Amino acid sequence: MARTIEQIRNEIIAAKESRAELSSLNSTSQVSIWRLLVDIVATSIWTLEKLFDIFKAEVNDTISRLKPHTTRWYAEKSLAFQFGYDLVPETDTYDNTGIADDVVAASKVVSYAAVVEQVRGVRIKVARTVGDDLGPLTTDQLNAFKEYIRQIKDAGVRVNITSTEADRLRVVLRIRYNPLVLSNTGGRLDGETLHPVKDALKEHLKNLPFNGVFSVQKMIDAIQAVEGVEDLNVDEVQSSYGLLNLTSVSISRIPDSGYLRIADADFIVTYEAI
């Protein structure tokens, strides 16, 4: 790790002080020639040491990204997938020579990727950006992505790839509200929004990391932060993946698809004035 300029300067001055033949360099002025030379040399050494630190970090990062059989490697490769482009033969890379950067960026349809180790291999969950939200890859995109992974994956590794609609969330709440701020249907009295609690929950879900943990307590915190909400009780929290039945979420859950969304019909609230 690079030393500070002051540390290097002090070491140079200490070395100078130990040399009898340099005893004539005794000016205390900060702009004396010998002190200016010390500052120049110290700054040059510091710059070189910083460059060494940057180079070392880049080398370590490159090694970690290229290392096979890691979940990080599969995640990085998933995000590097380019829809509509073929790989360079016998490699896991693309040749983008002569292709505009914005065209390359547009071809990278996988916006989010999570890799989970399983007993017999790994599972890759992916999603794309749809407007201002997440969504599954199209059929063509998913088929192309599966072939891409098949070609670059490590030999002998079984890969299960999924890209589906969000897990379904169902919430039943009772809320004590401040009648000076909210109506008996939960809308703001100033008309700013008709559904501040539901809006807060939906925004909370959108801000969760892809394949991150959904926490019931953090959901409660997000709702209690809504102006006018004085207290609340969670009667029921359930989620489901695909066509599976809803199951209770007591503390937390990682959504099977990688993300959670709630439909208006699944957000059931009873409002009680304080």
Angle, in degrees to the nearest 10, between helices 33-66 and 5-17? 130
Structural element, H or E, at residue 36: helix 33-66
Collect all residues with Cβ–Cβ distance below 8 Å to 46 and sequence separation of at least 6.
2, 3, 4, 5, 8
Supply the pLDDT for residue 66.
Answer: 62
Query: What is the rounded distance in angstroms from the CA atom of residue 9 to the CA atom of residue 3?
Result: 10
Which residues does the chain have with pLDDT short of 70?
Answer: 64-69
Query: What is the rounded distance in angstroms from the CA atom of residue 48 to the CA atom of residue 32?
Result: 25
| Nearest residue to 161 (alpha-carbon basis) of 194, 196, 189, 121 | 121
3-state secondary structure of 253: strand
Supply the pLDDT for residue 190.
Answer: 93
* Number of neighbours of residue 165 by Cβ within 10 angstroms: 14
Supply the pLDDT for residue 269.
Answer: 95
Vertex 225, ends 221 and 227: CA angle to 5°?
A: 150
pLDDT in tens, 15-74: 988 888 888 888 888 888 888 899 999 999 999 999 999 999 888 877 766 666 688 999
Supply the pLDDT for residue 65.
Answer: 64
Query: What is the rounded distance in angstroms from the CA atom of residue 208 to the CA atom of residue 215?
Result: 10
